[in-house]
Amino acid sequence: MSTLPEAPVDYDAADPPGPSWRAWLLAARPKTLLAAIVPVWTGGVLARWLTGHLSLYLAAFTVLSAVSIQIATNFFNDAIDHAKGADTAVRLGPQRVSAEGLVPPQAVIMAGITLLFMAAAFAMPLIAARGWPILAIGLPSLYFSFGYTGGPLPLAYRGLGEIFVILFFGLIAVAGTVFVQTGHWYAEAVLLGVQVGFYATALIAINNLRDREEDSTTGKRTLAVRFGERFGKIEIVLLCLGPLGVGFLWIPLFNAPKLAYFPLAGLPLAAFLSLLVWKTKPGVLYNRYLGMAALQMLLFAVFFTLAARP
């Protein structure tokens, strides 16, 4: 899994977070965890729609493992970006505990490693149930938790972040969840994975466009840095509206019109967010847009769940 942005956390100026649970909570970026939960949520819903069965036991361990990897990724991102000088004094996004001196970077890294061990432990029941395919999914996820911003080929610094998120927060997470539940690979999971992956990637794209100017001075070659502000805005619009358009494929491919139509209830928010991004110069306001992007992902999960009811 890779890291995803979140809206800023407001603290009382007279009571800033210190090296305590509040600082660790800030480093964990709890608002990003929806991007780890929604693929498992919707994948479980799809599995039940396909087979009539859902194992809450397997779903719980899938969520625990996914969330552990997400938090570990956030920790690594916090410490590594600080070490590389990517979090500067002109940062427009939320606080980072390493850059602010709230937690020593070495402690943040060790916490990330600990969470990866926890993720592996939570995956044991999944491996016992489904065997080596879970290892094939899990081991790259563990590595890229660190390799998204660290290692010899940091994806976020090479403009590969969006592709990675679509793959790991979309296709692999959703299809893997369905496989855990059913023991089979389904084409339906690919379509749902694309939809969920687009929503998750919208978060990354908004974050990268907001930070384009800062990233261009620190060697972080995101797509927004490489191709400019206009490209970044077009990308965000496509990522917000694309899942609903792609969703119409549920009708000819799988004869499931409800799965196509119900999520359209999120169209007003997607259109409004797209308009705001298109009209607004990248800046602090984009932190609010991140919250809206997370909300549209949540709404998709809710409406997809309603559509998949028996």
Q: Please report the domains of the chain, with CATH numbers, ordered by start residue.
A: 21-307 (1.10.600)
Task: Identify the residue whose tokens are 């489904």.
Answer: 130
> 84-99: string of b/e by CB count within 10 Å (b at 16+)?
eebbeeebbbbbbbbb
pTM of the model: 0.89
- The pLDDT of residue 19: 55
Extract the runs of DSSP E, i.e. beta strands, from 213-288.
none
Q: Tokens representing 51?
A: 């087979």
Q: Tokens representing 242?
A: 């694309």
Alpha helices in 55-131 (DSSP H): 56-83, 97-100, 105-130
Q: Is the pLDDT of residue 17 over 70?
A: no
pLDDT single digits (tens) 100-128: 788 889 999 999 999 999 999 999 999 99
> CA dist 94 to 9, 49, 215, 286, 294, Å?
7, 39, 15, 11, 15
- Cα distance from N-terminal residue to C-terminal residue, the chain: 32
More confident of the two residues 224 and 1: 224
- The pLDDT of residue 151: 84
- DSSP element (H, E) containing 36: helix 34-51
Report the alpha-carbon distance of residue 110 to residue 126 in Å, rounded.
25
Q: Tokens representing 26?
A: 């800030």
Q: Is the pLDDT of residue 14 over 70?
A: no
3-state secondary structure of 195: helix
- The pLDDT of residue 86: 64
To the nearest whole number, what is the mean pLDDT of the chain?
90
Report the alpha-carbon distance of residue 253 to residue 123 in Å, rounded.
32
pLDDT single digits (tens) 68-108: 999 999 999 889 888 877 666 556 667 778 887 888 899 99
Report the alpha-carbon distance of residue 44 to residue 300 in Å, rounded.
14
Is the separation of the CB atoms in 209 and 231 below 8 Å? Answer: no
- Closest among 134, 116, 14 to 74, alpha carbons compared: 116
pLDDT single digits (tens) 38-61: 999 999 999 999 999 999 999 999
Task: Identify the residue whose tokens are 């956030």.
Answer: 74
Report the alpha-carbon distance of residue 93 to residue 100 in Å, rounded.
13
Q: Is 43 exposed, middle or buried (0-12, 13-18, 19+ CB in 10 A)?
A: buried
**pLDDT level of residue 214 (50, 70, 90 thresholds):** confident
> CA dist 198 to 58, 68, 241, 260, Å?
25, 22, 9, 16
More confident of the two residues 63 and 218: 63
- The pLDDT of residue 67: 96
